[in-house]
């Protein structure tokens, strides 16, 4: 048996788990691992990123796309703290991910050595933490054990991030151990008695509603969910930023339950007598600040199906809680026998009609018609395009008006942070293109883009391509909106002095285009689709166009009128 150094063994462990790409910023604390990537460069690619937050977002996107842990490597304190935004996103989005942190040498530990920190306390696993597990590998012979456990922890139950800390001297030690075999996620099956109870609850319902989302969905489970909905003629909604869980073109689709929810759908959630929550953890955004579904006990009957037993009954006391992974749950549901006649057919049809009505835009000022631009995207983007966004009001245009075919048609097509992290969309789109070769389209804002715009350099260096639609309104729009609601006409901190984004994109190696009227967009988009390199299309958006439904001035006037009334 030939010995090798631990850093090389770690890369072999990743290969054994089927990893083809790892994202990171190189650091001196894990040089031995970087050398392992060099040795195995024909089998695995280390994608050199420009900031650890961008690298972690890329790894999180990798987890969403593949269903297996996205891989990120960073160094010590500054690298780990920069990467924490991606770990937090993976935690709240229920995405499998592993962050490897190169650490100080063992003989300098606990002296506040250069860039030393306590990773266990920083990433601390808990219901309010950032990681499911944080471990330090001191014995190089046990690396295969730790890596395998990290994969199992990240994938099983509620998927999420794991942090492995790697002392730099450990990585250079000779080892005789070998990688362990590939692990697959364990399926938790629905209890047959619970399924009988669910069927009885359906038979007693008159206005049922499905909310589907969360982590762990596959093409097979999405298709099984669709068959279940068709068998029972159930209206299906998608949870916040999981809009590719159910085909938006399907006649049973009723819309997305999240920020900017359609008023009719919001009322329908309140009016439902039975909510089937399949997969989501029912967080603040999906529940309208815990008002559409009141915590801890909903007015509606609640069936909550989730992959983690710890998540069930944690916030909401369900009338029926079912512990099951999405693949198992959906396949169990699709064989539930429906009666010949169902009393809610009109309810279901009206729910879909409400969704279609919500696609009708309001008239807003300015030379840019955003619903028309989204319609052009719907027309020209391929059905398997991966759409990404960060956080900001700009994202609501895609959330409201773009229709995903999604997982039921064979592809995950939406990468968006339910945690609401700015700067996610640009690196996520680049990662999606590098991993899948599919077209990646990102919508971003002027504030959002500058969080991680430097990763355009990563795309160019590694041959990646994305198309970026950047909406420039000269401000942190979401904050300005809330500012006007709470402190009208007191503008502090939300104005932005921006660079020339088109020129900036060109400096990185993208093509930069700037437009200020709708008629110019289709040509710019078609040219971007035809190019072998990435394109950033900067759109100058009237600051008045603050949401998909109203103007900034209207928000201000409403707030001022309220103040006068209270005075």
pLDDT in tens, 392-401: 999 999 999 9
> Which of 175, 206, 227 is where one domain is finished?
175
Are residues 510 and 538 both part of a single domain? yes
Q: Is the pLDDT of residue 1 over 60?
A: no
Query: Are residues 312 and 413 located together in one domain of the fold?
Result: no
Answer positive or negative: Cα dihedral of 156, 298, 416, 441: positive
More confident residue, 213 or 127: 213
Does 352 share its domain with 374? no
Q: What is the CATH number of the domain that holds 320?
A: 3.40.50.1220
Whole-number Cα distances in Å, 41 to 37, 152, 314: 5, 25, 45
| pLDDT of amino acid 113 | 84
449 and 304 fall within a common domain: no
Q: Can you give the pTM of this predicted structure?
A: 0.96
Does residue 127 carry a pLDDT above 70? Answer: no
Residues 109 and 225 in one domain: no
Residue 224 lies in a domain: yes
Regarding whether 487 and 532 lie in a shared domain, the answer is yes
Q: Report the candidate in 452, 406, 446 with the shortest Cα–Cα distance to residue 429.
A: 452
pLDDT digits (tens, 9 = 90+) for 284-295: 999 999 999 999
Banded pLDDT at 564 (limits 50, 70, 90)? confident
Position 182 in a domain: no
- Is residue 157 over pLDDT 80? yes
Please report the pLDDT score of residue 125 as a whole number: 72
All residues at 6 or more sequence positions from 212 whose CB lies less than 8 Å from its CB, including other chains:
225, 236, 237, 238, 239, 242, 245, 246, 278, 279, 280
Is 212 part of a structural domain of the chain?
yes
The count of domains in the chain is 3
What is the pLDDT, as a whole number, of residue 201?
98
**Residue 364, domain member (yes or no):** no
- The domain boundary, picked from 300, 334, 358, lies at 358
- pLDDT classification of 133: cutoffs 50, 70, 90: very high
Q: Which pLDDT tens digit goes with each residue over 193-246?
A: 999 999 999 999 999 999 999 999 999 999 999 999 999 999 999 999 999 999
Enclosing domain of residue 230: 192-358
Q: Are residues 354 and 375 in the same domain?
A: no
300 contact partners, CB below 8 Å, separation of at least 6: 269, 270, 272, 273, 274, 275, 293
Residue 129 has pLDDT above 80, yes or no: no
**How many other C-beta atoms can be found within 10 angstroms of the C-beta atom of residue 28?**
12
Any domain includes 55: yes
Q: What is the pLDDT of residue 549?
A: 94
CB 534 within 8 A of CB 467: yes
Q: Are residues 202 and 310 in the same domain?
A: yes
Write down the mean pLDDT value for the chain. Answer: 96
Local confidence band at 511 (pLDDT 50, 70, 90 cut-offs): very high
Residues 333 and 412 in one domain: no
End-to-end CA distance of the chain: 83
Residue 494 lies in a domain: yes
Q: Which helix (H) or strand (E) holds 74?
A: strand 70-75
**CATH code (residue 549):** 3.40.50.970
354 plus 374 within the same structural domain? no
Q: Give the pLDDT score at 567.
A: 62
Beta strands in 2-63 (DSSP E): 4-5, 21-24, 45-48
Question: Of 147, 175, 203, which closes a domain?
Answer: 175
Provide mean pLDDT across the span 381-389. Answer: 97
Q: Does residue 248 carry a pLDDT above 60?
A: yes
Overall average pLDDT of the 258-271 stretch? 96
Note whether 384 and 501 are same-domain residues: yes
Report the pLDDT averaged over residues 474-501. Answer: 93
| Same domain as 67, residue 199 | no
Q: Is residue 184 part of a domain?
A: no
Residue 186 lies in a domain: no
Least confident range of 110-119, 451-460, 465-474? 110-119
Q: Would you mind telling me the total number of residues written for the chain in this entry?
A: 567
């Amino acid at each position: 048996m030939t010995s090798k150094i631990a850093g090389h063994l770690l890369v072999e462990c990743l290969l054994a788990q089927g990893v083809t790409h790892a994202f990171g910023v190189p650091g001196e604390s894990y040089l031995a691992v970087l050398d392992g990537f060099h040795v195995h460069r024909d089998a695995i690619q280390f994608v050199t990123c420009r900031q650890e937050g961008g690298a972690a977002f890329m790894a999180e996107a990798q987890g969403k796309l593949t269903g297996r842990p996205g891989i990120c490597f960073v160094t010590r304190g500054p690298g780990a703290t920069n990467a924490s935004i991606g770990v937090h996103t993976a935690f709240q989005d229920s995405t499998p991910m592993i962050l490897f942190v190169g650490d100080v040498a063992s003989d300098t530990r606990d002296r506040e050595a250069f860039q030393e920190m306590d990773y266990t306390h920083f990433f601390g696993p808990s219901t309010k933490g950032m990681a499911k597990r944080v471990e330090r590998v001191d014995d190089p012979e046990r690396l295969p054990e730790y890596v395998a456990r990290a994969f199992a922890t990240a994938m099983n139950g509620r998927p999420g991030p794991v942090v492995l800390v790697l002392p730099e001297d450990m990585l250079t030690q000779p080892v005789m151990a070998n990688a362990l075999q590939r692990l697959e996620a364990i399926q938790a099956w629905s209890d047959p008695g619970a399924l009988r109870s669910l069927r009885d609850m359906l038979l007693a319902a008159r206005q049922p509603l499905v909310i589907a989302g969360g982590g762990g969905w596959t093409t097979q489970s999405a298709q099984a969910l669709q068959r279940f909905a068709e068998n029972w003629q159930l209206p299906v909604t998608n949870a916040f930023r999981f809009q590719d869980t159910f085909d938006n073109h399907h006649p049973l689709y009723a819309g997305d339950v999240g920020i900017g929810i359609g008023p009719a759908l919001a009322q329908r959630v309140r009016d439902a007598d039975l909510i089937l929550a399949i997969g989501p953890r029912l967080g603040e955004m999906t529940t309208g600040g815990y008002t559409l579904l009141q915590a801890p006990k909903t007015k509606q009957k609640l069936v909550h199906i989730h992959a983690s037993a710890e998540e069930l009954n944690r916030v909401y006391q369900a009338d029926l809680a079912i512990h099951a992974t999405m693949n198992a749950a959906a396949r169990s549901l699709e064989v539930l026998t429906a009666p010949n006649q169902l009393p809610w057919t009109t309810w279901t049809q009206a729910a879909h009609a409400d969704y279609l009505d919500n696609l009708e835009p309001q008239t807003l000022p300015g030379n840019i018609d955003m619903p028309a631009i989204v319609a052009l995207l719907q027309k020209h983007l391929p059905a398997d395009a991966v759409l990404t966004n960060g956080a900001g009001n700009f994202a609501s245009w895609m959330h409201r008006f773009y229709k995903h075919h999604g997982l039921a048609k064979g592809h995950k097509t939406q990468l968006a942070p339910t945690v609401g992290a700015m700067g996610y969309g640009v690196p996520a789109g680049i990662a999606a293109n590098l991993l899948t070769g599919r077209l990646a389209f990102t919508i971003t804002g002027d504030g959002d883009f500058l969080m991680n715009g430097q990763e355009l350099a990563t795309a160019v260096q590694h041959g990646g391509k994305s198309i970026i639609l950047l909406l420039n309104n000269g401000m942190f729009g979401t904050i300005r909106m809330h500012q006007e609601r709470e402190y009208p006409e007191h503008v502090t901190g939300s104005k932005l002095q921006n660079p020339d984004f088109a020129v900036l994109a060109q400096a990185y190696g993208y093509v930069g285009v700037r437009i200020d009227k709708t008629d110019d967009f289709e040509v710019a988009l078609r040219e971007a689709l035809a190019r072998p390199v990435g394109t950033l299309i900067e759109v100058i958006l009237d600051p008045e166009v603050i949401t998909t439904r109203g103007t900034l001035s209207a928000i201000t006037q409403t707030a001022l009128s309220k103040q006068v009334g209270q005075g």
